[in-house]
């Protein structure tokens, strides 16, 4: 088990949370707290950078959905970046690859022009 670490930074499109380690039953609440404590303005994009994610179980997936719900509640959008293959497979199997916008990396997700083009109206 790898300890979860969440680092927040700002991008032109909005906040980026870099998530490393294991996102599971024991740590999912940490992601929820981090998202709840964000300043997320209407129209911004919350990016969850999963490049350092080692493991994600159903509780972790639920915390990703909770982050999405909060973004929608705040009239914002959400995107996942650098989703590891094992997590991407889970998202595909349960159909969440059609719910989340997924980018190859955080840089692609935070490109202002891309965000304006792909953001649902």
The domain limits of the chain are: 5-118
Residue 105 confidence (pLDDT) above 90: yes
> CA-CA distance, 108 to 98, in Å (whole number)?
18
pLDDT beyond 60 at 114: no
CA-wise closest residue to 58 among 87, 34, 85: 87
For 5-118, give the CATH class. alpha beta
Mean pLDDT of the chain: 92
pTM: 0.91
- Name the H helices within 5-120: 28-36, 58-73, 85-93, 106-109, 112-118
Residue whose pair of structure tokens reads 């911004």 in the numeric block: 44
Identify the CA nearest to 79 among candidates 55, 105, 57: 105
Percent above pLDDT 70 for the chain: 92
Whether the predicted pLDDT of 121 surpasses 50:
no
Query: Is 70 exceeded by the pLDDT of residue 119?
Result: no
6-27 mean pLDDT: 97
């Amino acid at each position: 088990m790898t300890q979860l670490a969440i680092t927040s930074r700002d991008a032109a499109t909005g906040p980026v949370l870099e998530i490393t380690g294991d996102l599971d039953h024991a740590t999912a609440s940490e992601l929820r707290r981090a998202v709840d404590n964000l300043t997320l303005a209407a129209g911004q994009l919350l990016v969850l950078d999963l490049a350092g994610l080692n493991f994600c179980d159903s509780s972790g997936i639920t915390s990703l959905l909770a982050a999405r719900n909060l973004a929608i509640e705040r009239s914002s959008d959400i995107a996942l970046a650098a989703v590891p293959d094992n997590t991407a497979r889970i998202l595909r199997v349960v159909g969440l690859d059609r719910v989340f916008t997924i980018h190859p990396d955080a840089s692609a997700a935070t490109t202002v022009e891309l965000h304006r083009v792909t953001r649902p109206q």
